Every structure is written in C-alpha cells, then in structure tokens.
Amino acid sequence: MSGRVYLTLLSRSSYLAGTMVLYHSLQATGTKYPLVVLVTTTLPDEARQVLRRSGIQMIEVELIMLPPSRFDPAGTAARFLDIWTKIQ
C-alpha cells in the first residue's frame, strides 16, 4: 500500500448512508486506495457494525467541541456541531 487513503468523518448515524454511498462509489471505480472512516466516540455501535461488516477501516477520534463560552450550539445548525473535529 502506498499510504494513501480516502478519509471521511462519521460522527452520527444520520450520515451513515452517505458514507456507504461514498464507499460503494469508490469500489465501483476500482480505486486502489481504501476508504478509512474517522468515527467519533458518539457514533452508536449499530453504525460501527455496518462499517465493520463492509470491511471499512475505522479510526476512533474524540469529538472536539468548543466550550459554550466561545460557541453557542443552540444557535448553530446541527450539521456544523462537529466541524472542529473535522478540521482537526
């Protein structure tokens, strides 16, 4: 292996379908690089099992959230709550 991978973050089950579409799309193109999914500690085990059954490598990462004094989660769209983890 060359050390190259396709990398994505999965922090909630609602994005599992998109991750699986990405995986199957990569498989369909015959890519030589594997998909590696960064999973947060908040991702339910049911979602992890789907990834395992598909043979997708996972790396667990901590969910990074700014303190409420610097970031208002209530005033932010849910899809942006894990943005700091993705940037990390």
CATH code, 40: 3.40.50
Using alpha carbons, select from 64, 14, 5, 65 the residue that is nearest to residue 37.
Answer: 5
| Confidence (pLDDT) at 63 | 78
Helical residues (DSSP H) of 9-82, grouped into ranges: 16-29, 45-53
pTM of the prediction? 0.79
Tens of each residue's pLDDT in the chain, 88 residues: 468 999 999 988 999 999 999 999 999 999 999 999 999 998 999 999 999 999 999 999 987 766 666 666 666 555 566 666 666 6
- Our count of domains for the chain comes to 1
What is the C-alpha separation between 60 and 41, in angstroms, rounded?
A: 7
- Residue 1 in domain: no
Whole domain around residue 44: which residue ranges?
6-87
- Residue 79 in domain: yes
